[in-house]
Structure 1
Amino acid sequence: MAQVLEFKLPDLGEGLTEAEIVRWLVEVGDVVAIDQPVVEVETAKAMVEVPCPYGGVVTARFGEEGSELPVGAPLLTVAVGATDASSAAPGDDGAAAEEPSGGSGSGSGNVLVGYGTGAPAARRRRIRPERSTASAAPAAVSAPSRPAPVAVAVGEVNGRQGPVAVVSPLVRRLARQHEIDLRGLTGSGPDGLILRADVDSAIRQAGQATEAATRTAAEPVVAEASTAVASPSAAGAAAPATAERIPLRGVRGAVADKLSRSRSEIPDATCWVDADATELMAARAAMNAASGPSGGPKVSVLALLARICTAALARYPELNSTVDTAAREIVRLPGVHLGFAAQTERGLVVPVVRDAHTRNAESIGAEIARLTELARTGKLSPAQLTGGTFTLNNYGVFGVDGSTPIINHPEAAMLGVGRIMPKPWVHHGELAVRQVVQLSLTFDHRVCDGGTAGGFLRYVADCVEQPAVLLRTL
């Protein structure tokens, strides 16, 4: 007899509370193996393929592509031990079984990418029912029974006391912030579960109602003014367009939260300097010329600047730290995990080059190129986007000279690099045209004072102007 197990959206780590379904990898009726990826979701960090910890026949999926699900919401159900269509139907045992804690023969218990039992993935095949059961099987597949969603709030519904079906604490907080009464909402999730989309819809409706009330109150005044100054032909003019509202979620929402937290928690300061990068550009050209036409990948300017940063952090370790606000302690970090800002179609992301202090310019450049390609295709894992200790931001690619970067919380500093372009410069006492770049350092004033920050930035500028300075630390 088949046992129907419910697989819920797992906690994907890094404090994420929800995910958007991008693409289902299985259909109802498919046979799946333990740890086989069943759905591709997008979190605020990255695109993730979620493997199922059970092996069996998929009997139901919850959530359409493009919809958001909170962590802990039902994702799909699997009939474990089914060998044909009739045993795959959840009606055999009357209810979905509770998820095992792991370690049993029915599933691995591992639900994150990169984890699992290592069992070979079974080739997908669809279980097709016999003609005699064609009318009964689909109904059973499409409506598996399962435990009711967790009720985490109680209120009066339709004149009586009853549970309010809300799973996600994010949904409850969002409702409180916008003064939305959850008792008056009808959830669009399974068994009336109230999702974030339901609260967002209520917020939009409340905003439209407020706007309509304001417009109605203002209509007499507008009409009187229009009568005095408008021509008769203006009577048929179209109504003004309403403002567009774009939800802050996904990558854009994660960026907004991190930048807001940085500004609210970190007392930052910025210093900057112009540097003559002519010698650095000449050194890069010489490196790439020495490698020959088939001598491997070219060394990028970003890779050279990254190597300069690791050398500077070795001299000024105060900037490779973080602040433990609860303990009121500065935590000096032993290694440099260098983040670099990368603009993608999904938004701004910061991939991290692990152990950058142990790499040379060529190794750093190769890792930057690899992570950049993953970022462009949306295949960066959460682990590749977290754990940075210092960030390098090359906004010069956008054609701008300078900026005041916002620190990537919880780091202590960020170096910004403007465009390198020909400018008049006094060189050896004479005016000349040189390749000039502006460098900006934003730092957490709690971890050091201006003297340390200035020393760091001056050392970086010296290495840019005279790359031979860097040879002392190699």
Structure 2
Amino acid sequence: MAQVLEFKLPDLGEGLTEAEIVRWLVQVGDVVTVDQPVVEVETAKAMVEVPCPYGGVVTARYGEEGTELPVGAPLLTVAVGEPAAEPEGSGNVLVGYGTQAPAARRRRVRAGTATANGQARKPEPGPMTPHTRGTAPARAQLPAPTPASAPTSASAPTSASAPTQAAAAAHPAAPVSAMAPAQGPVPVISPLVRRLARDNGVDLRQLAGSGPDGLILRADVENVLRAGTAPARAADEQAVPAPAAAPRAEGEVRIPLKGIRGAVADKLSRSRREIPDATCWVDADATELLRARAAMNAAGGPKVSLLALLARICTAALARFPELNSYVDTDAREVVQLGQVHLGFAAQTERGLVVPVVRDAHARDAESLTAEFARLTEAARTGTLTPGELTGGTFTLNNYGVFGVDGSTPIVNHPEAAMLGVGRIIPKPWVHEGELAVRQVVQLSFTFDHRVCDGGTAGGFLRYVADCVEQPAVLLRTL
């Protein structure tokens, strides 16, 4: 007899707690092998294919394309030919998206014999991974994972049991429970449900959930709101009515803040809340830097990019001003200076702004930096950056000059302490050696966390960078 095993969304690592289903790679009834990619998901940091640790026949899929699921929520069920006491994974790891412990490969099962016994299990709430330093906060919207009861389109057939909403419909008014505990955690399927209840004055302790073991689902709260029977909050003696939806103006478009855009919004908001930043800037004559780059590339060998030279200047400046390669530990009230420079650089893609990180940039020469910038930029464009390549930065280089602008006051990339911005390089009138001449001029801006240093240190850093841009030979002192 075939055994039905449930494959849940694995721990994504890097503090990520949910992912959005972008594209299903298998259909119900398909035969899959161990470690075969079954779904493409997008996290707040990257788009990846998730491999299944079981081999067998897909009997159910949970969630349609565009649905967000928390870590631990069921993705699909697979009917395997050989029963096992406890399901084991393949042991393979895809950039932190691993599949538990090693196990022997299971033989394939024909769809005709497996689907007769494959019954999809009801989704269970998954554990939420705590955030780590340098990672994006969890998205606000986390819809409850529910299996599809019947195929609504050609891309989402299923043989799962009735949807969770159907279970909630059996309790249309989500009755108040006399047995509700006065203390302790309330079993709720996702943070979205808690937020929905809090915003609308629903006391979760007075609800009897329709999910497994009394789990409170989103549908339970929505049914209460529709029925107008929201229990009062403990602090208020009457229910708070749900806010009326504002009428949409003609032509109004609403775009959900989710995926990379949502992660960027959360991170920038946090940076503005927590970091008291300041910005200084200076114009620099980049004519000699451009000539030096042209001479390097004319000598043969791999071409050196201008961004790589600017990165080399940054690492040299951070060696002179190490307090800027740091972050603030707010709990310990300490500034933590870091011994290695992991250089992030802002890259604009079709999916939004991402900041890939060049590891150990301080130990790389211009050629190595050029190659790594090219590799990470291409991965950013194709959406194949891994979470590890998007986290752990200690300093950011922002080349907004590619957009044709001269200056900017960028927001520090939390939890880092500083960011160097580079504008476009254009010919301008400039006094050179006592005479007016046309030179290639660039504006440099430097935004820093005022907690880690004062203006003197920030000004010294920026002035050193400008000196290296104007006279690249200055770099020879640190090579």
Counterpart among 243, 250, 253 of residue 241 in structure 1: 250
Distance (whole Å) between structure 1 residues aligned to residue 50 and residue 24 of structure 2: 10
Please show how residues 138-153 of structure 1 align to structure 2 within 5 Å: 141=118, 143-146=119-122
Distance 1:320 1:120, change over 3 A: farther
Displacement of 1:53 in angstroms is 2.6
Displacement of 1:148 in angstroms is 5.7
Displacement of 1:110 in angstroms is 6.0
Displacement of 1:4 in angstroms is 1.6
Shift >6 Å, 4+ stretches: 117-123, 150-156, 162-165, 182-189
Aligned length: 411
Could you tell me the TM-score, scaled by structure 1's length? Answer: 0.77
Please show how residues 454-469 of structure 1 align to structure 2 within 5 Å: 454-469=459-474
Please show how residues 220-299 of structure 1 align to structure 2 within 5 Å: 241=250, 243-291=252-300, 295-296=301-302, 298-299=303-304
- Report percent identity of matched pairs: 72
Aligned to 1:392: 397
Distance 1:466 1:209, change over 3 A: same
1:262-299, Cα deviation, whole Å (9 max, x unpaired): 111111111100000000001111111111xxx33x21
Displacement of 1:31 in angstroms is 3.3
Contact 1:51–1:113, Cα closer than 8 Å, also in 2: no
1:16-55, Cα deviation, whole Å (9 max, x unpaired): 2221111222232333333332211001111022122333
Aligned to 1:168: 190
Aligned to 2:42: 42
Aligned to 2:246: 211
Distance (whole Å) between structure 1 residues aligned to residue 432 and residue 210 of structure 2: 70
Counterpart among 359, 363, 366 of residue 361 in structure 1: 366
Contact 1:9–1:72, Cα closer than 8 Å, also in 2: yes
Distance (whole Å) between structure 2 residues aligned to residue 107 and residue 210 of structure 1: 46
Aligned to 1:179: 200
Aligned to 1:345: 350
Distance 1:55 1:381, change over 3 A: same
Counterpart among 99, 107, 110 of residue 89 in structure 2: 107
Please show how residues 74-113 of structure 1 align to structure 2 within 5 Å: 74-82=74-82, 100=86, 106-108=88-90, 112-113=94-95
Whether 2:335 is the aligned partner of 1:330: answer yes
Distance 1:342 1:333, change over 3 A: same
Aligned to 1:412: 417
1:372-417, Cα deviation, whole Å (9 max, x unpaired): 0000000001110000000000000001000011100000000000
Contact 1:30–1:126, Cα closer than 8 Å, also in 2: no
Distance (whole Å) between structure 2 residues aligned to residue 182 and residue 53 of structure 1: 40
SS of the equivalent of 1:288 reads helix
1:73-118, Cα deviation, whole Å (9 max, x unpaired): 1111122335xxxx9xxxxxxxxx99x4xxx7x4246665464678
Distance (whole Å) between structure 2 residues aligned to residue 151 and residue 376 of structure 1: 32
Distance (whole Å) between structure 2 residues aligned to residue 42 and residue 188 of structure 1: 27
Instruction: Considering fraction of residues, name the structure with more helix.
Output: 1
Contact 1:441–1:453, Cα closer than 8 Å, also in 2: yes
SS of the equivalent of 1:432 reads strand
Distance (whole Å) between structure 1 residues aligned to residue 26 and residue 274 of structure 2: 44
Displacement of 1:178 in angstroms is 3.7
Displacement of 1:316 in angstroms is 0.5
Distance (whole Å) between structure 1 residues aligned to residue 447 and residue 268 of structure 2: 13
Contact 1:303–1:365, Cα closer than 8 Å, also in 2: yes
SS of the equivalent of 2:428 reads strand
SS of the equivalent of 2:294 reads helix
Aligned to 1:133: none
Aligned to 1:15: 15
Could you tell me the TM-score, scaled by structure 2's length? Answer: 0.76
Displacement of 1:211 in angstroms is 2.6
SS of the equivalent of 1:392 reads strand
Whether 2:52 is the aligned partner of 1:52: answer yes
Aligned to 1:470: 475
Q: Which amino acid aligns with 1:10?
A: P
Gaps of 5+ in 2: 129-143, 145-167, 181-185, 227-240
Aligned to 1:447: 452
Contact 1:269–1:442, Cα closer than 8 Å, also in 2: yes
1:112-142, Cα deviation, whole Å (9 max, x unpaired): 546467889999x883427xxxxxx76755x
Whether 2:76 is the aligned partner of 1:129: answer no
Contact 1:53–1:111, Cα closer than 8 Å, also in 2: no
Contact 1:251–1:348, Cα closer than 8 Å, also in 2: yes
Counterpart among 159, 163, 166 of residue 175 in structure 2: 159
Contact 2:54–2:106, Cα closer than 8 Å, also in 1: no
Higher alpha-carbon deviation: 264-273 or 15-24:
15-24
Distance (whole Å) between structure 1 residues aligned to residue 474 and residue 127 of structure 2: 64
Distance (whole Å) between structure 1 residues aligned to residue 60 and residue 91 of structure 2: 20
